[in-house]
A and B are shown apart, each in its own frame.
Chain A
Amino acid sequence: MAINSLDPRIKRADLAGASGFTALSEREHWEPYAVFHQDKRGEQHIFVGIVHAPDPELALVFAKEQFGRRKKTVNIWVVRSSDIFTFAHEDEDMFATIPEKIYREAAGYPVRKRINKYLHDLEESHK
């Protein structure tokens, strides 16, 4: 049985024989998949990163190791990155004034003043 070791301590890569770069064939050109990780049933799947894979099945297998081997995991989704729709980063200005719109935060509601007054009064009455 001919054994051809891949161990670099046994056999060095034949770099001298390699001339320049070779283009990847279509099959070797794997696609990126976005990975979504769920740590508990009922919780949302959270985007955690990407893996490269030739098909969705292997993307799941790879994602299990890349993103599920060190933390609690109950489920994983993979989605072809090319299937994700997105805004262009140039359109970031659509979000530019958001930080000013504090009235959209719960902290900006008028009721806050009444709550603070109530808490203040409560404190006073205990004095």
Chain B
Amino acid sequence: MSEAIKDLLYRIADDELILGHRGSELTGLGPILEEDIAFSSIAQDQIGHALANYTILHEQFGEPEPDSIAFARGERLYKNSQFVELPIGEYDFSLMRHFLFDHSESCRYELLQSSSFTPLAALAKKIKGELKYHTLHADLWIAKLGNATEESHARMQSALNEAMPYALGIFEPSDYEGELIANGTFVGEKKLQAVWLERIMPVIERAHLALPDLSKIEPKFGGRHGYHTEYLLPLLDEMSEVYRFDSAAVW
């Protein structure tokens, strides 16, 4: 059983760590000061969520210290979806990823609030307010830019089209789906995707964007099993630079 829960924790935590790092790349580059601070703060929250999950892995399952887990693993051991490792691109793409990913994150934790694995259920309850803010921020931007000008609408639509195959990759089934569902740890990726879709649809409609035909999209799977795009390795190299220089550094 513990292998199944460990796998789940790694997927959640690695998504948050990598997307948190990507989000922090926008610090100082946001379109205006207020938005820059909001986006950076959300990125910090996500790294905080990663730490919380790594801490559970360390304390409950005897995995290494959170810093070692975060910075000293080989690329193939990261279980994040490929979606979160893609570069920040233009702001339209980063916002769209923030919208699509954060809703999946928010739905996932909502479903985990009743998990039979109590440390994860407790974490899910603790951070629900943060997630509420993250999705509020994303929803407002998506609706606003979808309805603003012809250019902003076109850019959000093309960001949505580009992001969707990767967003579906979030829900790549693990090797432990049956086990996790059977013992009440988690309802599974398939159910999560359905809940997520229900959640994002009203916002996409409010933004007057068109959801691409999901049946014609091949989801970008692989990340959950350690197969990543060319973009992850440079990110890991940069992220772990200080750790490799001095693994005991504090500040």
Contact = CB atoms under 8 A, between A and B. Distances in A.
B241 interface: no
8 contacts: A3-B86, A6-B89, A6-B91, A7-B88, A52-B34, A61-B38, A62-B35, A62-B37
B41 interface: yes
Interface in A46-74: 51-55, 57-58, 61-62, 64-66, 69
A4 B148 CA distance: 23
A18 interface: no
Nearest to B45: A69
A30 interface: yes
Given A62-B34, A65-B37, A65-B41, A5 B88 contact: yes
Contacts of A4: 89-90
Interface of A: 1, 3-8, 27, 30, 51-55, 57-58, 61-62, 64-66, 69
A27 B149 contact: yes
B149 A66 contact: no
A52 B34 CA distance: 7
B88 A61 contact: no
A61 B86 contact: no
Given A1-B162, A8-B29, A62 B87 contact: no
Contacts of B33: 52
Nearest to A63: B34
Given A7-B25, A7-B88, A61-B133, 8 more contacts: A3-B86, A5-B88, A6-B29, A6-B88, A6-B89, A6-B91, A51-B34, A64-B38
A57 B148 contact: no
Interface in B80-115: 86-91
B140 A61 contact: yes
B217 interface: no
Contact of A65 (B38, B90, B91, B141): B38
A5 B89 contact: yes
